[in-house]
DNA sequence: TTGGAAAATTAACTCGCGTTAGTAAACCGC
DNA sequence: GCGGTTTACTAACGCGAGTTAATTTTCCAA
């Protein structure tokens, strides 16, 4: 059914040398002298036989798998709906492959079996972990980090000092809110992207508050409503804002998906965007630019997040110094038509 | 920095037996008698020491990696924009993990180095390959298949008899077109999703033609325009349709993304959807439901494609019989507001 | 031509685990 | 208490490659 396996032994025989010599040549082992002719002969033999180094054997002998695990803890459906994960994975994959490593992918969701991370590490299957997603009580990761296991979080961990890469949610939310303030709005609502148990939700709310305070505007609790990732939750939240006796002239919605629901609700109330209410979103999902009017929003550098996270993990794995253990990337405000001057 | 590695030897010592016995117990090796007490003692020891089987050693000894490679050949940007890949990956991951296997992810793009597939297989790093994307001249895969390497294509290969999973593009396009015919349209334009070098483009065009022929409608070459994946290409194609002396009252656009451009163009010409022109798309991208009016389109079972492809590969890897080497999944027509009765 | 250093190559051990063949102890019928 | 089965366990080899220590060959100065 299949051809016999090609090992260093076959290559050695064909080149008329010992297996050890083959290993030296193929690895360019330093402090070893091999005559140019022999070297050439071995390389030729390897090429002619289509030799490929056995991964398991190499890994066993060296103790390194040249592989990392990319684990996402978001509910798996998110993968199917949102392009964020795809962009992230793209970046991670590029950075890691570039360093000569491979990526094992796991969609663990939130029900990961206890000890799943440790098992990957202890079985020597991977050299490091890259984890994305909301981390609820992941004390396991703290233990691993303490043991010296290379790992990087994509996101902003609640506790501990785990190496992480994320956007600067506070600054981004502040930027979005300041945009509305600059447009002349004074009563600005806020709808969070998720419950405040998530650091991203908290941080974006903080940014909103900072912007208001910096501008000397009052913080009105009633103007702050909670979203929960879905567009439906945006419907609820916006309804609450619209029912206020003195309703806002603008709203910062900390998630484009949630904003979709909010926008629908505004229209159903017979109000116009941005005429009656200005909206600024967050995430810059692909459809943001196709809405009518286009959604002004905060763009996340999806691919770059992945690239940086991947790079940081590679550095950790290879023992190189990591300049910033907590990298925060800048976002950019994409101005379209959903937020306008308050006359 | 790190604790000493736990191997079967440590477990054996702690349980007071030989390493072989530990192996027998941990693997439930058949035809071997181990007393219940000994078995218990070994399992306890393993648990207490947090023993995890070394992956490389196991793989080397058994010759199986319990790992498959999921390779995408689409341009990597697509990952960042479209949710299709995410859904697919989600399905693949579920199916493969369920079978106790792991997924190595590669975004090879189109510039994959010659021999990349073979290297993965020959190095024993993976037991099988799952490849998604437009396959240009991938004769390498035919060779591997001939050698008995387990592999599955997500998509419809040009040539050969490689195992594959895809939607039925012909039937789907036919369904979409028939929907327009049933609405009373007689002059129906078509914009392809990509160049006809792609099987998916060809098949969707074929479905369109079949629908027209079945309804006794003439095939007008001028009504068939070529898209190229992007919304910009949709702009060009629709412009060509609108410039026709006798322009269509409806169009089947074989890609939602391309349809976005087409829709923009229609509006820029001052025409209304579906009043002046009805549109049916293909893919059901997430934003299709948010357009105004909602885009009537063909929904691809993203996750299911991944699930089936993963399952098929698992069967091939484990030598189980594969009922259908060329699986074609059904799609569904999602009727929204972009296609209406032709008065 | 000979001693000795440098250059070229190899034997042998190791990594952790699967597995075959074999040994030792326990049991059993008579 | 003796041959013959089970039952319970282990010694030893192999998977393919990295690596150290040793060995052989080459080269050159004295």
Per-residue model confidence as pLDDT tens digits over A128-174: 999 997 665 678 888 899 999 999 999 988 877 899 999 999 999 99
B277 within domain boundaries: yes
CA/C1' separation B124–C15 (Å): 18
pLDDT of residue B108: 86
B343 within domain boundaries: no
d(CA A24, CA A39): 9
| Strand D surroundings (CB within 7 A) | A 5, 7-9, 19-20, 23-24, 26-27, 29, 51, 53-54, 57-58, 60-62; B 17-21, 24, 32-35, 38, 57, 60-61, 63
> Are residue B18 and residue B129 in the same domain, yes or no?
no
CA dihedral A164, A170, A175, A181 (to 10 degrees): 170
**Is B6 in contact with A105 (Cβ distance < 8 A)?**
no
pLDDT of residue A135: 63
> Are residue B104 and residue B249 in the same domain, yes or no?
no
Judging contacts by C-beta atoms under 8 Å, the chain B residues touching residue A118 are: 50, 52
Q: Which of B26, B48, B109, B125 to mutate to test the interface with A (most CBs of A within 10 A)?
A: B125
Q: State whether the beta carbon of B8 lies below 7 angstroms from any atom of strand C.
A: yes
Tell me the range of A22-31, A173-182, B69-78 where mean pLDDT is highest.
A173-182
**Is A80 in contact with B83 (Cβ distance < 8 A)?**
yes
Residue nearest to nucleotide C6 (CA to C1'): A33
Task: Return the ∠ at Cα A248 (arms to A243 and A250), rounded to 5°.
Answer: 130
d(CA B282, CA A69): 34
A1 versus B311: the higher-pLDDT residue is B311
Distance, C-alpha B42 to centroid of its chain = 44
pLDDT of residue B1: 36
Report yes or no: B169 and B201 within 8 Å, Cβ to Cβ: no
Query: For residue A17, what are the domain limits?
Result: 8-53
Q: What is the DSSP string of A38-73?
A: HHHHHHHHHHHHT----HHHHHHHHS---EEEEEE-
> Are residue B241 and residue B189 in the same domain, yes or no?
yes
> Are residue B41 and residue B114 in the same domain, yes or no?
no
> Are residue A92 and residue A112 in the same domain, yes or no?
yes
pLDDT of residue A73: 87
Report yes or no: B267 and B54 within 8 Å, Cβ to Cβ: no
A271 within domain boundaries: yes
Report yes or no: B96 and B31 within 8 Å, Cβ to Cβ: no
Residues of chain B below pLDDT 70: 1-4, 134-137
Q: State whether the beta carbon of B98 lies below 7 angstroms from any atom of strand C.
A: no
| Start-to-end Cα distance in chain A | 78
d(CA B63, CA B56): 10
pLDDT of residue A136: 55
d(CA B242, CA B185): 16
Report helix angle A8-15 to A36-49, nearest 10.
Answer: 130
B61 within domain boundaries: no
> Are residue B111 and residue B233 in the same domain, yes or no?
no
Pairing of strands A164-167, A326-329: parallel
d(CA B301, CA B321): 24
pLDDT of residue B135: 63
CA/C1' separation A35–D28 (Å): 19
d(CA A176, CA A282): 8
Among left, alpha and beta (phi > 0; psi -120 to 50; other), residue B121 is alpha
CATH code for position B264: 3.40.50.2300
A60 within domain boundaries: no
Burial group, residue A126, by CB count within 10 angstroms (0-12, 13-18, 19+): buried
Cβ-based neighbour number of residue A4 at 10 Å: 6
pLDDT tens digits for range A70-126: 999 887 777 777 788 889 999 999 999 999 999 999 998 777 777 888 999 999 999
**Cis omega before residue A44 (within 30°)?**
no
Judging contacts by C-beta atoms under 8 Å, the chain A residues touching residue B260 are: 290
CA/C1' separation A21–D29 (Å): 31
Residue nearest to nucleotide D20 (CA to C1'): A20
One-letter-per-residue 3-state SS of B180-236? HHHCCCCCEEEECCCCCCCHHHHHHHHHHHHHHHHCCCCCCHHHEECCCCCHHHHHH
A334 within domain boundaries: no
- Count of the separate structural domains present in chain A: 3
**Which sign, positive or negative, has the C-alpha torsion B214, B216, B217, B218?**
positive
Q: Which of A71, A80, A258 to mutate to test the interface with B (most CBs of B within 10 A)?
A: A80
The percentage of chain A sitting over the pLDDT mark of 90, rounded to a whole number, equals: 75
A287 versus B171: the higher-pLDDT residue is B171
Cβ-based neighbour number of residue B38 at 10 Å: 17
d(CA A280, CA A298): 8
d(CA A199, CA A201): 5
> Are residue A24 and residue A99 in the same domain, yes or no?
no
Pairing of strands B332-334, B297-299: antiparallel
CA/C1' separation B183–C22 (Å): 81
Q: How does the average pLDDT of chain A come out, rounded?
A: 92
> Are residue B176 and residue B296 in the same domain, yes or no?
yes
> Are residue B142 and residue B291 in the same domain, yes or no?
no
A176 within domain boundaries: yes
CA-closest candidate to residue B103, choices A70, A233, A45 = A70
pLDDT of residue A160: 77
pLDDT of residue B29: 87
> Are residue B77 and residue B119 in the same domain, yes or no?
yes
A59 within domain boundaries: no
**For residue A319, pLDDT beyond 80:** yes
pLDDT of residue A2: 40
Residues 8-47 of A with CB under 7 A from strand C: 17-21, 24, 32-35, 38
CA distance A218 to chain B (A): 35
The percentage of chain A sitting over the pLDDT mark of 70, rounded to a whole number, equals: 98
Report yes or no: A211 and A179 within 8 Å, Cβ to Cβ: no
Q: Locate B84 and state its tokens.
A: 């299709």
d(CA B303, CA B174): 23
> Are residue B212 and residue B296 in the same domain, yes or no?
yes
Residues 101-140 of B with CB under 7 A from strand C: none
> Are residue B284 and residue B319 in the same domain, yes or no?
no
CATH code for position A29: 1.10.260.40
């Amino acid at each position: 059914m299949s051809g016999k396996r090609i090992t260093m032994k076959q290559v050695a025989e064909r080149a008329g040398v010992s297996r050890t010599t083959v290993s030296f040549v193929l690895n360019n082992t330093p402090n070893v002298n091999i005559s140019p002719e022999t070297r050439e002969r071995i390389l030729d033999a390897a090429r002619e036989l289509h030799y490929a180094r056995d991964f398991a054997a190499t890994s066993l002998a060296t103790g390194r798998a040249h592989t990392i695990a990319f684990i996402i803890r978001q509910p798996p459906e998110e993968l199917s709906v949102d392009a964020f994960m795809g962009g992230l994975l793209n970046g991670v994959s590029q950075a890691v492959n570039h360093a000569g490593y491979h990526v094992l992918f796991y969609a663990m969701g939130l029900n990961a079996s206890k000890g799943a991370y440790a098992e990957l590490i202890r079985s020597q299957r991977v050299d490091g972990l890259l984890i994305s997603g909301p981390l609820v009580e992941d004390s396991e990761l703290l233990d691993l980090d303490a043991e010296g296991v290379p790992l990087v979080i994509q996101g902003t961990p609640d506790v501990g000092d785990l190496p992480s890469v994320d956007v600067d949610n506070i600054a981004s939310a502040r930027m979005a809110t300041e945009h509305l303030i600059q447009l002349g709005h004074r009563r600005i609502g806020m709808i969070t992207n998720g419950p405040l148990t998530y650091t991203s939700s908290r941080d974006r709310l903080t940014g909103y508050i900072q912007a208001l305070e910096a501008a000397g505007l009052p913080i009105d609790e009633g103007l702050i409503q909670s979203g929960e990732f879905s567009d439906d939750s945006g419907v609820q939240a916006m309804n609450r804002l619209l029912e206020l006796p003195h309703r806002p002239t603008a709203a910062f919605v900390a998630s484009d998906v949630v904003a979709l629901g909010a926008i629908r609700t505004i229209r159903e109330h017979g109000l116009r965007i941005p005429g009656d209410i200005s909206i600024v979103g967050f995430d810059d999902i692909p459809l943001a630019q196709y809405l009518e009017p286009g959604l002004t929003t905060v763009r996340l550098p999806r691919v770059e997040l992945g690239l940086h996270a991947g790079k940081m993990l590679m550095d950790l794995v290879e023992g190189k110094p990591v300049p910033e253990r907590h990298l925060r990337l800048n976002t950019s405000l994409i101005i379209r038509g959903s937020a306008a001057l308050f006359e």
